[in-house]
């Protein structure tokens, strides 16, 4: 794992923007669809904005966007991870967002459907770029510490420590099938997780991912920072 300590969040998003440019340029040159994985959450809208800007610079490439994880809520629910991503992207045939199915479909079937779509679309190919956000506990997507993975492609998480408790997620081995993997660890609330990642704490999903693929962890946390205890 490569931890990159940056001046601020904008510097991290600049790196993400350049990674989009590289991925889209390569796909455009090769005449193929670019497969990207994005996370929702607080950083999702900022990441999607940088993707929208890159799409303007590469108008001839089609992008297929996979959502790293999704909360098992209705399509109109504001808690959905894909909403802030979709809101920032152009409504265009150039953008193919692969949404997770929604209730009342059983979460296990939702995950199985997503896994099958991944297999059918990628076959033996890899993602061009994966951009994730790390949680305060070191989780990525909806892969949480000490929670058993039920598949190597995608699975349902029934007892998430963060509400809502039921989610679907792409599994770490599938996320690791990528040319480039960027993980955002932004804000002082991530300081402890950054420190543990720097010590290669194997209980953290972000470290487990880094054991499968080279991860660039982008953070604006000052090295050695600790969150004050109450």
Give the tens place of pLDDT for each residue, 178-187.
999 999 999 9
Averaged pLDDT, 135-163 = 93
Q: Which residues pair with 69 in a beta bridge?
A: 169
pLDDT band at residue 223 using 50, 70 and 90 as cut-offs: confident
Residue 215 within a domain: yes
**Which range marks the domain in which residue 95 is found?**
2-179+188-198+210-219
Question: Does residue 164 contact residue 78 with C-beta atoms inside 8 Å?
Answer: no
pLDDT of residue 10: 97
pLDDT of residue 230: 42
Residue 106 within a domain: yes
pLDDT of residue 86: 95
Residue 174's closest CA among 98, 92, 72, 78?
98
Tokens (6 digits) for 200: 């290669």
> Could you give the CA distance from residue 37 to residue 83 in angstroms, rounded to a whole number?
15
Number of domains the chain is built from: 1
Residue 226 within a domain: no
Residue 229: is its pLDDT beyond 90?
no
Question: Does residue 1 contact residue 197 with C-beta atoms inside 8 Å?
Answer: yes
pLDDT band at residue 151 using 50, 70 and 90 as cut-offs: confident
Question: Does residue 185 contact residue 216 with C-beta atoms inside 8 Å?
Answer: no
pLDDT of residue 224: 66
Give the neighbor-by-neighbor strand order of the sheet with 69-71. 69-71, 167-170, 154-157
pLDDT of residue 225: 59
Residue 142 within a domain: yes
Residue 37 within a domain: yes
Distance of CA 40 to the CA centre of its chain: 7
> Could you give the CA distance from residue 198 to residue 59 in angstroms, rounded to a whole number?
39
CATH number at residue 160: 3.40.50.1360
pLDDT, one tens digit per residue, over 37-83 is 999 878 999 999 999 999 999 999 999 999 999 999 999 998 999 99
Residue 218's closest CA among 55, 26, 50, 67?
50
Residue 224 within a domain: no
Residue 85 within a domain: yes
What's the predicted TM-score (pTM) here? 0.95
How confident is the prediction for the chain on average, in pLDDT? 94
pLDDT, one tens digit per residue, over 73-125 is 999 998 999 999 999 999 999 999 999 999 999 999 999 999 999 999 999 89
> Could you give the CA distance from residue 39 to residue 93 in angstroms, rounded to a whole number?
21
Spatial neighbors of 215 by CB under 8 A, at least 6 apart, are 1, 2, 181, 182, 183, 206, 209
pLDDT of residue 226: 54
Q: Is 179 exposed, middle or buried (0-12, 13-18, 19+ CB in 10 A)?
A: middle
Residue 149 within a domain: yes
């Amino acid at each position: 794992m490569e931890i990159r300590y940056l001046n601020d969040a904008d510097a991290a998003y600049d790196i993400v923007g350049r990674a989009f440019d590289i991925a889209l340029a390569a796909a455009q040159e090769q005449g193929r669809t670019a497969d990207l994985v994005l996370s929702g959450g607080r950083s999702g809208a900022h990441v999607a904005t940088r993707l929208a800007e890159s799409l303007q610079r590469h108008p001839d490439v089609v992008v297929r966007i996979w959502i790293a994880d999704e909360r098992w809520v209705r399509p109109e629910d504001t808690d959905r991870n894909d909403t802030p991503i979709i809101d920032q992207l152009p409504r265009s045939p150039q953008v193919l967002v692969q949404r997770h199915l929604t209730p009342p479909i059983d979460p296990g079937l939702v995950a199985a459907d997503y896994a099958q779509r991944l297999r059918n679309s990628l076959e033996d190919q890899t993602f061009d770029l994966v951009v994730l956000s790390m949680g305060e506990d070191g989780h990525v997507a909806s892969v949480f510490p000490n929670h058993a993975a039920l598949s190597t492609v995608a699975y349902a998480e029934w007892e998430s420590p963060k509400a809502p408790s039921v989610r679907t997620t792409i599994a770490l081995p599938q996320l690791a099938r990528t040319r480039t993997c960027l993980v955002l660890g932004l804000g002082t609330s991530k300081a402890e997780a950054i420190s543990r990642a720097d010590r290669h704490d194997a209980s953290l999903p972000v470290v487990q991912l880094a054991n499968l693929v080279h991860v660039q962890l982008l953070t604006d946390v000052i090295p050695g920072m600790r969150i004050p205890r109450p």
